[in-house]
Amino acid sequence: MSLEQLAPATELTGGPRTEHTGGPAIERTGGERLLEGRRNWWFLGPGGVARLGSRHVTPEGTLRPASERLLRERGMFSAAPPRSYALTVLTSTHCNLGCGYCFQNTAQDPAGGTRPPRIARTRLTSRTITSVLDFTRQRMAESELERLRILLFGGEPLLNPRGCLELLERAQDIGLTSAWMISNATLLTPTLARQLADLGLDSVQVTFDGDRPDHDRIRIGRADGGGTFDTIVRNIVRASEAAPIRWTLRVNVSQDNFAGVDRLVERLAEALDPARCTLYFARVGDVGIGYANDLVHTGELPAAFTRWQRRALELGFTVTRPGSRRPCPTCGHDGGRYGAVVSADGTLASCWETAGKPDWEVGTAAGGYLPGPRTEERWIACEDLYRYDEDGRTLAAFRDTVDAALLDHLDETGRL
């Protein structure tokens, strides 16, 4: 029996239950996956990806005992512990865009415009940074981690550039090794990109809501209702010239922009350097107030995702490789063992999805986490609040179909 380990798992979307370390237990199931490809099977475990033959799998589509035993011997069921403490900090809870589906909106715009009410507006200050870093230093010591990776988040984090820069500069003293940012990029200048990169920022995630016409109807300026596509692309180009930043381009997919995604991939390849960009296609979850994504995970959607991924690879982009379901280092472990989410006022949340929202606090940076019984219902992980019309089996079948097709393609083209 020969099993070939091909690539490390990279997807971080759930995983095995971890040791309880404060706060209520968050249940997790095994994160291993077994996918049927065109000519073989794929095993995706915490320890990597392996190609399997039909003899390794039962007619019912499960691992044969001998195959599972060999995979375990090769470490494919074993996940390496986190090497860095993952700290997410909202430097500003305000945003300069008025996207109607944003999970931080508290209602729809009553005037039907581009200013939906949002979570309370706060900005990270020097005093709060002190509390955040003191808290982080203590948590890192408890988790026996010496390295720190920071996510700059919002709102829009660049509405508080001084807070971003001060946080990264002062975090050097407690083991900061790298940082990344989720930004709409409308405020990113070459000078700011260079300053952030000099302090450890290595990547930025930016969202596109379909091709230019769709994006400019959906991802709009809060003040004037104007489109943002050209501004975002221009700022990415200029920032790339000023700093060695890599880009993750998240493409939101919904019924409002589905038809334009093929053209978007071509347009981005024409404007940007694909070698520095990873494309990530994501169906928008129904998390915004009054928002519903009617695009179902059946029909033509799996084939469309496969087509977009393959074209992106042909054009020189990187695409996110499939992997096992593993816990988010920030919110996927009980009690914030390996990471924390801190809002701009120093309030702790269990994940980015509830940061800054009333009645979802689990403590403060100054005082630490509250006792478990007081916050039991507030401890959730990424995507726990996402709503879909389809059941879990349909969603899993969609992911498996798309991921198996991508692994087949990567294997056939020698990219694994």
pLDDT at 21: 28
- Residue 31: pLDDT band (50, 70, 90) is confident
Could you please report the per-residue DSSP string of 289-349?
Answer: TT------SSTTHHHHHHHHHHHHHHTT-EEPPP------TTTSSGGGSSEEEE-TTSEEE
Write the secondary structure of 44-103 as one string of H (helix), E (strand) and C (coil).
EECCEEEEECHHHECCCCCECHHHHHHHHHCCCCCCCCCCEEEEEEECECCCCECCCCCC
Which span out of 20-34, 134-148, 315-329 was modeled with the highest average pLDDT? Answer: 134-148
- Residue 184: pLDDT band (50, 70, 90) is very high
Name the residue among 387, 303, 382, 309 with its Cα closest to residue 349.
Answer: 382
pTM above 0.85, yes or no: yes
The SS3 of residue 17 is coil
* pLDDT above 90 for 310: yes
Residue 144 to residue 126: CA distance in whole angstroms: 26
The SS3 of residue 363 is strand
Q: Which residues is 49 bridged to in the sheet?
A: 7, 44
| Length of the chain as a residue count | 416
Residue 47 to residue 30: CA distance in whole angstroms: 13
- Residue 288: pLDDT band (50, 70, 90) is low
Does residue 379 contact residue 23 with C-beta atoms inside 8 Å? Answer: yes
Summary mean pLDDT of the chain: 88
Q: Extract the tokens encoding 387.
A: 């709503």
* pLDDT above 80 for 32: yes
Name the residue among 413, 329, 407, 341 with its Cα closest to residue 48.
Answer: 407
Can you list the domains of the chain with their CATH numbers? 4-80+393-412 (no CATH), 84-326+384-389 (3.20.20.70)
Could you please report the per-residue DSSP string of 157-197?
Answer: GGGSHHHHHHHHHHHGGGTEEEEEEE---TT--HHHHHHHH
Give the range among 227-236, 259-268, 389-398 with minimum mean pLDDT. Answer: 389-398
* pLDDT above 60 for 4: no
| Residue recorded with tokens 């302090």 | 199
pLDDT 10s digits, 125-180: 999 999 999 999 999 999 999 999 999 999 999 999 999 999 999 999 999 999 99
Within 8 A by CB and 6+ apart from 158, the residues are 164, 183, 187, 188, 192
